[in-house]
Amino acid sequence: MTKVLVAYGSRRGSTWEIAEWIGEVLGEEGLEADVRAAAEVGDVGGYDAVVLGGAIYFGRWHHQARTLVRRCAQRLAERPVWLFSSGPLQAIGDREAAVPRAAERARRRIGARENVVFGGCLRPDAKGFPAATMARTAAGDFRDRERVRAWARDIAYELKAGR
């Protein structure tokens, strides 16, 4: 059975939820998915493939996702990897959204197959000065669960096809 690590860097939990959605789909498709915080991953050697996501904060990719790429760059380059980011506080749909520079550098460094951006989520009761201030005017859940699930199904298809 193909074992896939779904790792994430998340501050407020919405990127973790996206990682969970991806893990659910991979499991439904007959793959073994291990969803873990990027900070908890010491090595990716025990996995056949990796999906790595990071929240976007003020245009920057989450530091735990960046750190995992630095720590495991060689092993990541040896297996199929997909990257995702979440954070824009607007609906994205099928249009292209700006990929954070650090996520694009990571894609090039490890040869990731894809680098996508999903909408983010900012709850009205967000804590912390910057988040609470933004939540006054921009709160909302802009994640498209079906778009995430479709992307995860595409990953499963590629892995099962041996690509």
Question: Of 21, 74, 72, 79, whose CA–CA distance to 50 is shortest?
Answer: 79
In the numeric block, the tokens 């291990």 are attached to 34
CATH number of domain containing 68: 3.40.50.360
CA distance 103 to 3: 23
Q: Which domain holds residue 116?
A: 3-160
Please list the pLDDT of the chain residue by residue as tens digits (163 residues). Answer: 799 999 999 987 799 999 999 999 999 999 999 999 999 999 999 999 999 999 998 889 999 999 999 999 999 999 999 999 997 666 555 556 788 999 999 999 999 999 999 987 766 565 665 655 655 666 677 889 999 999 999 999 999 998 6
Phi, psi of 46 (to 5 degrees): -85, 5
- If one counts every other C-beta atom within 10 angstroms of the C-beta of residue 58, the result is 8
Global model pTM greater than 0.85: yes
In the numeric block, the tokens 């973790």 are attached to 16
In the numeric block, the tokens 């990541």 are attached to 76
In the numeric block, the tokens 């802009």 are attached to 142
Burial grade of 60 (CB within 10 A; 0-12, 13-18, 19 or more): middle
Q: What total of structural domains would you count in the chain?
A: 1
Token pair for 44: 């990716």
